[in-house]
Amino acid sequence: MIINNTLNTAQIQAIKYTTGPCLVIAGAGSGKTRVITHKIAYLIEQGFSAKNIAAITFTNKAANEMQERLSKLINKNDLKQLTVCTFHALGLKILRQEAEYIGFKPNFSIFSSEDVYSVLQEILSTTDKSLIKSIAHCIGNYKNNLYTPDMALNNAHSDIEIQACKIYPIYLQTLKAYQAVDFDDLIKLPCELLNNNNQLQIKWQNKLRYILVDEYQDTNLCQYNLLKLLVGNPLEKMPLFTAVGDDDQAIYGWRGASSDNLKKLSQDFKALQVIKLEQNYRSSNNILKAANTLIKNNTKIFDKQLWSEHGSGDEVCVYAMNDEEHEAEGIIFRISAHRFERKTAWEDYAILYRSNYQSRVLEQILRRENISYTLSGGQSFFEKAEIKDICAYLRLIYNTNDDPAFIRAATTPKKGIGSTTLTKLGEFAGTRKASLFDACFMSMLEDVINSQNLFSLRDFVSFINDLSDKAKTEPADILLKELMNYMCYESYLYDTFDEKTARNKWENVTEFILWLKSKGTNSTKLEQDISFENQDNLGNKSKNLIELTQMIALMTILQGKDKQNSGIQLSTLHAAKGLEFSHVFLMGIEEGILPFDNGEKQSDIEEERRLMYVGVTRAKKSLHLSWCKQRKKGGQKTSIDPSRFLSEMNMNPLEKEKINPKVYLDMMKEMLL
């Protein structure tokens, strides 16, 4: 029996309601992941087949975590059959299977934002970075709001929007020609597909009979649309799903998420059962009181009041510091002293801030004091140039129409193919509506490109062609070896970078190749999910290069590479969502930083308040808030006001800092020696 007395009444209610649409308003620290995982186990217990249940998350990290926790509740076989993935991975799965219905080959490529950027650069033939970015942003909006080019034009206001509308259809054509989709397409295209093809819609509805959505407040219009298409029309049948979310933690409005989707849910599904989880298992009550008082200032969709059985705990404190350096030293001093006093570990402390650059001062001082720390966020493994270089080859082998991959692979490392050759090739291919790759095989090309460059070009494409053929049958590790042999990537690195960077980059590459090879031999659940065939292969059949390449596009977290969470945790407020720490220091609680103020356009104060709320509710045992009276701006010091959120929380922002942190930091060091 999966339901036991460690669950509270509301949680049990949320788990047991399986006969209709369900919305769980899950306050911070109220055990929301627990409810989702237990509900899945309960559904299986009640006779749902695991292969008909899907749990949808927003990040790969969350999906992995969910699987991890499920592995303790349900048996291996069921876990294997479950769909636990991100919205995008689900969309991809649908698209790979149904590609033919929208005029794509199943081996279409997935373009990253960088690829999208270069495509737009090409279309617009400009180098104006901000223009390209704004257009990309507009097009992303159109897709997320399911605008057709015509609808977009009707809603266009500024010059940039009008220009974006003109580009939009061209952009769509270009991607089609490349046999590529962008990230937004992974949701948008399945929506269009299921909307236009009733049979397919029924097919997928039958496959995914029960859907659970995590972080529902972060869905955008398009994602909500996909959900609706998958659960079916409430007038025809009883939709079966559970959406779990918290309107107070909606902090991604700026990228299209709309917590209004919570409201829409009760309008669109009259039978919706709303269950609130208000008991908090994380924080002591002083922290919760601060959080509740703060968030009361927002207009709410669902009212809720967090409480816990953990007693009142430590007082929440505020420190007014002189400037950013004083603040950083003050925080680090306090952590040192606190740790010494309470015999806690560095890992128990987190310093959270609004913007990445605020970590700089902290890092300087932490390095100076030799205190270990972990900076969350930063560049992901797959964003590194050296990994993208390798991926460009893999992508090209996989889909030879992928022009951005062609350009990257043809030019890195240098192999006698330069910008002149590429421009000529581009023009040649453009007039013949062929991909760069196919154009290389055309005989007319001899009139356009001089023989030496043409030789390099044909040498390159024949190699890719050869590998592309072999990739269908031969095992991945042999082909990878051949590829690396051809690329001479190591010597390229040592030729172009200084020794230290080259060594570092080469290490990343070897790590990547090793990882790829390991994926080639043991396939895990996630990959089977992403892979569009062989759902039911049980053996350890090693993956060929084609299959491997498919999954790379969506993998952003290197699974084997657990980042060590040692030392003080430094993180932005956004990146800290979903995490918890014993002792939390929120810095820069100032007007201009939190709430953020960009001078020009008014930022959404309610969203900023929710961001503060997210920060406050990360703390389990103690919470420390700090702000600077002065900050360096353009060479001179400017005076700063404490954040309005401090007074909203009934905190006195002017509590005096009586000690000089620097002196005490030195004293602590002596004590510890």
One symbol per residue from 129 to 168: x for binding DNA (CB under 7 A), - otherwise; what is it? x---------------------------------------
- In this complex, which beta carbon is closest to DNA, that of residue 134 or of residue 356? 356
Closest CB 129 distance from DNA, rounded Å: 6
Residue 628 β-bridge partners? 321
Cα–Cα separations (whole angstroms), residue 195 to 142, 144, 146: 17, 15, 12
Structure tokens at 593: 């930083």
* Interface pick for DNA out of 170, 575, 605, 667 (rule CB under 7 A): 575
215 is a catalytic site residue: yes
Instruction: Give which of 219, 226, 223, 225 is closest to 257, Cα–Cα.
Output: 219
For 373, residues 6+ apart whose C-beta sits below 8 A from its C-beta are: 346, 362, 363, 366, 567, 568, 569, 570
- In this complex, which beta carbon is closest to DNA, that of residue 4 or of residue 379? 379
Determine, following the binding rule CB under 7 A, whether residue 491 of this chain makes contact with DNA. no
Rounded to an integer, what distance in angstroms lies between the CA atom of residue 506 and that of residue 494? 9
* Interface pick for DNA out of 19, 126, 355, 647 (rule CB under 7 A): 355
Closest CB 620 distance from DNA, rounded Å: 22
Catalytic pick among 249, 400, 550, 617: 249
Structure tokens at 658: 């009586």
Determine, following the binding rule CB under 7 A, whether residue 12 of this chain makes contact with DNA. no
Half-sphere exposure of 46 (CA within 13 A, CB side): 16
* Interface pick for DNA out of 45, 363, 427, 655 (rule CB under 7 A): 363
Closest CB 238 distance from DNA, rounded Å: 30
Single out the segment in contact with DNA by CB under 7 A; choices: 29-37, 247-255, 343-351, 622-630.
247-255
Rounded to an integer, what distance in angstroms lies between the CA atom of residue 646 and that of residue 297? 12
Angle at the Cα of 593 (from 591 to 594), degrees rounded to 5? 75
* Interface pick for DNA out of 554, 616, 651, 665 (rule CB under 7 A): 554
Residue type, 565: N
Element (H, E) at 94: helix 87-98
State which of positions 450-489 bind DNA (CB under 7 A): none
249 is a catalytic site residue: yes
State which of positions 395-424 bind DNA (CB under 7 A): none
* Interface pick for DNA out of 180, 186, 467, 548 (rule CB under 7 A): 186
Determine, following the binding rule CB under 7 A, whether residue 89 of this chain makes contact with DNA. yes
Q: At what angle do helices 419-431 and 451-470 cross, to 10 degrees?
A: 70
Structure tokens at 619: 């703390």
Closest CB 353 distance from DNA, rounded Å: 8
For 98, residues 6+ apart whose C-beta sits below 8 A from its C-beta are: 190, 193, 200
Determine, following the binding rule CB under 7 A, whether residue 61 of this chain makes contact with DNA. yes
Helix (H, G, I), strand (E, B) or coil at 310: coil
Helices (H) and strands (E) counted in the chain, each on its own, are 30, 16
* Interface pick for DNA out of 16, 255, 300, 414 (rule CB under 7 A): 255
Single out the segment in contact with DNA by CB under 7 A; choices: 9-17, 173-181, 294-302, 595-603.
595-603
For 85, residues 6+ apart whose C-beta sits below 8 A from its C-beta are: 54, 55, 56, 57, 63, 93, 526, 529, 530
Rounded to an integer, what distance in angstroms lies between the CA atom of residue 548 and that of residue 86? 19
32 is a catalytic site residue: yes
Determine, following the binding rule CB under 7 A, whether residue 563 of this chain makes contact with DNA. no
Determine, following the binding rule CB under 7 A, whether residue 121 of this chain makes contact with DNA. no
How many chain residues are in contact with DNA, going by CB under 7 A? 37
* Interface pick for DNA out of 8, 59, 97, 195 (rule CB under 7 A): 59
- In this complex, which beta carbon is closest to DNA, that of residue 387 or of residue 436? 387
Single out the segment in contact with DNA by CB under 7 A; choices: 251-259, 446-454, 493-501, 510-518.
251-259
Determine, following the binding rule CB under 7 A, whether residue 83 of this chain makes contact with DNA. no
Torsion, CA 459, CA 463, CA 465, CA 470, rounded to 10: 160
Determine, following the binding rule CB under 7 A, whether residue 60 of this chain makes contact with DNA. yes
* Interface pick for DNA out of 635, 639, 656, 672 (rule CB under 7 A): 635
State which of positions 615-634 bind DNA (CB under 7 A): 633-634
Catalytic pick among 78, 182, 185, 215: 215
Helix (H, G, I), strand (E, B) or coil at 559: coil
Cα–Cα separations (whole angstroms), residue 456 to 59, 264, 452, 462, 576: 41, 58, 7, 10, 49
* Interface pick for DNA out of 97, 285, 456, 556 (rule CB under 7 A): 556
Determine, following the binding rule CB under 7 A, whether residue 380 of this chain makes contact with DNA. yes
- Residue given tokens 């005989």 in the structure block: 443
Rounded to an integer, what distance in angstroms lies between the CA atom of residue 248 and that of residue 277? 13
Instruction: Give which of 254, 239, 207, 247 is closest to 354, Cα–Cα.
Output: 254
Catalytic pick among 78, 185, 214, 246: 214
* DSSP E strands, 239-348: 241-245, 273-277, 317-321
Closest CB 481 distance from DNA, rounded Å: 29
* Interface pick for DNA out of 83, 219, 259, 572 (rule CB under 7 A): 572
Single out the segment in contact with DNA by CB under 7 A; choices: 303-311, 409-417, 549-557, 638-646.
549-557
Residue type, 609: R
Determine, following the binding rule CB under 7 A, whether residue 430 of this chain makes contact with DNA. no
Burial (CB count within 10 angstroms: exposed 0-12, middle 13-18, buried 19+), residue 456? middle
Rounded to an integer, what distance in angstroms lies between the CA atom of residue 67 and that of residue 90? 15
- In this complex, which beta carbon is closest to DNA, that of residue 314 or of residue 369? 369
- In this complex, which beta carbon is closest to DNA, that of residue 211 or of residue 257? 257
Rounded to an integer, what distance in angstroms lies between the CA atom of residue 320 and that of residue 628? 6
Closest CB 210 distance from DNA, rounded Å: 22
Catalytic pick among 33, 97, 201, 630: 33
Structure tokens at 646: 């401090």
Determine, following the binding rule CB under 7 A, whether residue 184 of this chain makes contact with DNA. yes
The DSSP call for residue 387 is: H
The DSSP call for residue 554 is: T
- In this complex, which beta carbon is closest to DNA, that of residue 225 or of residue 572? 572
- In this complex, which beta carbon is closest to DNA, that of residue 300 or of residue 360? 360
Determine, following the binding rule CB under 7 A, whether residue 522 of this chain makes contact with DNA. no
214 is a catalytic site residue: yes
Residues that bind DNA (CB under 7 A): 58-61, 86, 88-89, 112-113, 129, 183-184, 186, 251, 254-255, 354-357, 360, 363, 377, 379-380, 554, 556-557, 572, 574-575, 596, 598, 603, 633-635
Q: Which residues does the annotation mark as catalytic?
A: 32-33, 214-215, 249, 618
